[in-house]
Structure 1
């Protein structure tokens, strides 16, 4: 998969999960006036955006949890309808605080002009103009006249890292969907927002990886699945294979490792952006 993937293979087999978890738990944004590093997940319907949010919650809290409702199947209709910020609690009672990394889950990108999230709404979200709880309307994108429009976004409201989520187990992605995603990427690039991609469902797409998650970087089959990369233009060293928690009732180190590997990069990329704001 290239030199980046060779290094990643080493990290999967040797990285200390507890060390990575501590890195995430102890992170603080580079600028004191910013409480949260904001990650926006986008991509086709049913490719694992909400499931990744749940998986992150599991990993940093050290137990199975379900902060984001997610569909159990790869559907052609978006399960997420509203713009929602997912925050993760640290501690309990009077000592309860919020981890300084938050995720925005949005309606999935679909084929056609009147289905799924409108690309203009994603662009507005990047700039912090979408209010919490806004219900997406595929036919009519958000305007300045709508109650869901935030006219004066703070630096906390703006997106600090944009993450494209693609399933390795999905069939061919429609050209119109890829074009919408490309348009969003161009806007993010103009805003200097760092970008990366996650390839989910790697265990379902490759038998060897399903047997042993450490085989992910050796899989020629998964390498072919990165065929979406030229369309959305994300460099290979910014594409991360991920297995989300789905049916498990307990955590395991191999799954935690690939999730934490992607999460650490989100924090690093986002914090570099925050430092320059």
Structure 2
């Protein structure tokens, strides 16, 4: 009788390891230190009371949600002061809005966030680059209603003709969902680059926030503490750096508060790491002036 030969078991290659051997940035251990820093911060330049941070980026990037997340992290409860919309295909923010954050004692943090309309691919939709430049120089009033086909003019009633240092933007923050980095249109990249170059001429420091890490990556959704150890997220940071020319130490990964109804120290740690660097860069800018 002939003996049958057995088939060797199929050997499938192991799935690639999604993690780096070490995190490329440490955030959790500095959480309490960063929180204390933000709470005690006051500008060294006596000509200003508040550091002004301007958020800009594509439609749906999470600009308003990022402010809400900062507000939540500092207040210790989830807030929603900046209106957001999960399904709108156009910018839900239509006005130039300044947000202060109140402390428990009734005073305010020494940081103001300005939110603007998002960039869109088409020429006559979304915020116009020239309006962003005027905002950076301090000419745009709080509450200004954006009009993509009619930019702010010197003859407009509310135009700030002689802005003070307090009116001007001190830090420019680009915001983009981390899973959309490769999907940003050339037109939107061009607009963001133009704003970056204008900010550079004014000496304004620039950083970036890549949002929605939990939606982009199952490993981050499972454990947000692994954010800076996940290969895919680091690859997107590298790609965004190449797109806009920002150095890696100016790009931060965050998860905005979305489904949560209570704050979380691990989410806050990512947010406060980014916020501290914004404050440091902005304060250096003011100090140099």
| TM-score, with length taken from structure 2 | 0.89
Cα deviation for residue 18 of structure 1 reads 2.8
Residue of structure 1 equivalent to 2:100: 87
Tell me how far 1:64 sits from its aligned partner: 1.4
RMSD: 1.7
Q: Cα distance, 1:13 vs. partner?
A: 3.8
The answer for the alignment partner of 2:3 in structure 1 is: none
Correspondent of 2:39 among 20, 25, 28: 25
Find the counterpart in structure 1 of residue 184 from structure 2: 173
Superposed CA deviations along residues 102-138 of structure 1, whole A, max 9, x for unmatched, are 1000000111210000000000001000001110010
Deviations 1:26-64 (CA, angstroms, capped at 9, x unpaired):
100011220100000000001100001001111111111
Aligned length: 268
- CA distance in 1 between counterparts of 2:126 and 2:111 reads 26
Structure 1 unpaired stretches of 5+? none
What is the match of residue 62 of structure 2? Answer: 48
1:183 alignment counterpart? 194
Counterparts of 1:76 and 1:235, CA distance in 2: 30
Task: Write the distance in 1 (CA, Å) between the matches of 2:93 and 2:130.
Answer: 17
TM-score (norm 1): 0.92
Contact 1:6 1:217 in 2 (8 A): no
- Cα 1:156/1:234, change in 2 over 3 Å: same
After TM superposition, the structure 1 = structure 2 runs for residues 128-147 of structure 1, keeping only pairs within 5 Å, are 128-147=138-157
Q: CA deviation at 1:76?
A: 2.7
CA radius of gyration, larger in: 2
**Structure 2 unmatched runs, 5+:** 1-19
Q: Distance in 2 between matches of 1:13 and 1:132?
A: 35
Which of 261, 265, 286 in structure 2 is aligned with 1:249? 261
- Report what 1:111 is aligned to: 121
